[in-house]
Amino acid sequence: MNVLVIGQGGREHAIAWKLAQSQKVEIVFVAPGNGGTEVEDKCENINIKISDFSAIQKLIREKNIKLVVIGPEDPLVNGLVDFLQNEDVLVFGPSANGAKLEGSKIYSKKFMFKNDIPTGEAKFFSCSAEAKDYLDNCEYPIVLKADGLAAGKGVLVAQDSDSAKNWVDAVMHDSVFGEAGKNILVEECLFGTELSFMGILTPKEFIPFETSVDYKPLEDNNFGPNTGGMGCISPSPFMNEDLKKAIMQNVVQPTIDGLNKLGVKYYGFMYFGLMVKDNDPKVLEFNCRLGDPETQCLMMQMESDLLSCLIDALNDEEVTIDWKKGASVGVVMASAGYPGTYKTGCTVKFGNTGNLKIFHAGTTLDGAELKTSGGRVFSINYYDDNLKDCSEYIYKNIEEIQFDGNIYRTDIGKIYES
Ligand code: AMP
Ligand code: GLY
């Protein structure tokens, strides 16, 4: 069968790579894809925008596509699944009313309050003067969030009222995030260890993936600004059976029940961003997609056929996912300047990269030359018996990947605090 993956990052490369391994898959089309998916076995890039729903519909018909997997949140929140509902194709991803759990942080916080899902306290503001009054009298640090999608940049953990009020001015007055910052949340700061808990969610059940830890800060030892993720390890050394039970009981089940109460038929990936202290999980955010760079590690760890898992979930059949017993590590190689401004168009040269699995994120093929085209350029992954061996193998070989101004952390898989 032919399948279509929507998106162009490292996450989508990893999903396409894994789907392509299925005996049942003929071609994995990736729209628009990147320089990595362009040369991946059984994969073919199609140069259309993820916001061009009509072009996606046309592609599905022309290429006889039988399953669509949507990687990023924007097309989900903007209703791609709803748009395709009358097509003769299975679509893996929630409809817009399900994706709203990620698309509006105020909606999602209200959903958590209503369904007794543990999370930080929060106040909502649509008037900047009222927000600033409140910020004059609260305890710090405090967390500020734009309500809408802001490309992963809409959150500030503010240490004092000056920086908090500056953020309010920039977001609500100067509209740095556009409409996404019209309304904001001011949220209690939670402390503990962050955990990415993701899997497949259906109206019936949640099938958890292996656990993983995302390293968000730019620099070694977790210094520097927050990024979309500079590396990942899987499984998470923090997970234990009691914690897993607590997450399933206190977070996952009330989420399933809450969606069912609303009549939302959710079929798709779900990523619970959690803060855990003393085995007590609290939700930082819901994401209606998989994480990046977590997916790259998870696809290396997954034993089962991803295609069968997705189709079984969509058909309300029992889904079982087997995981390899070892570990996997991914190190993100980025362009100098990321997460701020950075140069693109740099030529990439590969030496002998051995058995590394290199997932591309910000690359394009320019004739025979591979060029950088984004902030996060590669996720360099390896699977082995344990985290230490994975990490050592990656760092022994990483210099074989070169482009002007490349940066990466040197401690992924060596320290476990994200
Ligand atoms: P979010 O997009 O809501 O996950 O926020 C991005 C990052 O901000 C999270 O991964 C956390 O590192 C941090 N964060 C968000 N909410 C909180 C909170 N209530 N307390 C502490 N840190 C938070
Ligand atoms: N790695 C964090 C995210 O995908 O949101």
Q: Are 197 and 283 in contact (CB under 8 A)?
A: no
Within 10 Å of residue 167's Cβ, how many Cβ atoms?
21
* CATH annotation of 327-407: 3.90.600.10
The helix (run of H) or strand (run of E) holding residue 310 is: helix 306-314
SS3 content of the chain, % helix, strand, coil (to 5): 30, 30, 40
Q: Are 328 and 233 in contact (CB under 8 A)?
A: yes
Residue 6's pLDDT band (boundaries 50, 70, 90)?
very high
How far is residue 6's CA from residue 37's CA, in Å, rounded to a whole number? 12
User: How remote is the CA of residue 102 from the centroid of ligand 1, in Å?
Assistant: 13
Residue 41's pLDDT band (boundaries 50, 70, 90)?
very high
Nearest CA to ligand 2 atom 4: 291
> Could you state, in order of their start, the residue ranges of all structural domains in the chain?
2-93, 121-188, 193-314, 327-407
CA dihedral over 45, 49, 50, 54, signed as positive or negative: negative
Q: What is the mean pLDDT of residues 380-388?
A: 97
User: How remote is the CA of residue 199 from the centroid of ligand 1, in Å?
Assistant: 20
Q: H-type helices in 237-288, by residue range?
A: 241-246, 253-262
Q: Are 361 and 10 in contact (CB under 8 A)?
A: yes
User: How remote is the CA of residue 278 from the centroid of ligand 1, in Å?
Assistant: 18
Nearest CA to ligand 2 atom 3: 291
**Which residue from 2, 4, 13 is spatially nearest to 364, judged by alpha carbons?**
13
CATH for the 121-188 domain, from 3.30.1490.20, 3.40.50.300, 2.60.120.330, 3.40.50.10470: 3.30.1490.20
C-beta of 154 in contact with ligand 2 (< 6 A): no
Q: Are 47 and 67 in contact (CB under 8 A)?
A: no
Domains 2-93 and 327-407 share a fold: no
Structure tokens at 313: 């979930």
pLDDT tens digit sequence for 60-88: 999 999 999 999 999 999 999 999 999 99
pLDDT tens digit sequence for 324-372: 999 999 999 999 999 999 999 999 999 999 999 999 999 999 999 999 9
Q: Which atom of ligand 1 is nearest to the CA of 154?
A: 2
How far is residue 56's CA from residue 70's CA, in Å, rounded to a whole number? 11
User: How remote is the CA of residue 159 from the centroid of ligand 1, in Å?
Assistant: 14
Within 10 Å of residue 147's Cβ, how many Cβ atoms?
25
Structure tokens at 254: 């009330």
E-strand ranges in 288-339 read 327-335
Whole-structure pTM value: 0.95
418 pLDDT above the threshold of 50: no
pLDDT tens digit sequence for 191-249: 998 888 999 999 999 999 999 989 999 999 999 988 989 999 999 888 899 999 999 99
pLDDT tens digit sequence for 272-321: 999 999 999 999 999 999 999 999 999 999 999 999 999 999 999 999 99
Is 193-314 in CATH node 3.30.470.20?
A: yes
How far is residue 85's CA from residue 13's CA, in Å, rounded to a whole number? 25
Q: Are 232 and 330 in contact (CB under 8 A)?
A: yes
More confident residue, 52 or 417: 52
Q: Which atom of ligand 2 is nearest to the CA of 216?
A: 1
The pLDDT value recorded for residue 88 is: 96
CATH for the 2-93 domain, from 2.40.30.10, 3.40.50.2300, 3.40.50.20, 3.40.50.720: 3.40.50.20
> Who's near 110: CB < 8 A, 6+ residues apart?
none
Q: Which atom of ligand 2 is nearest to the CA of 289?
A: 4
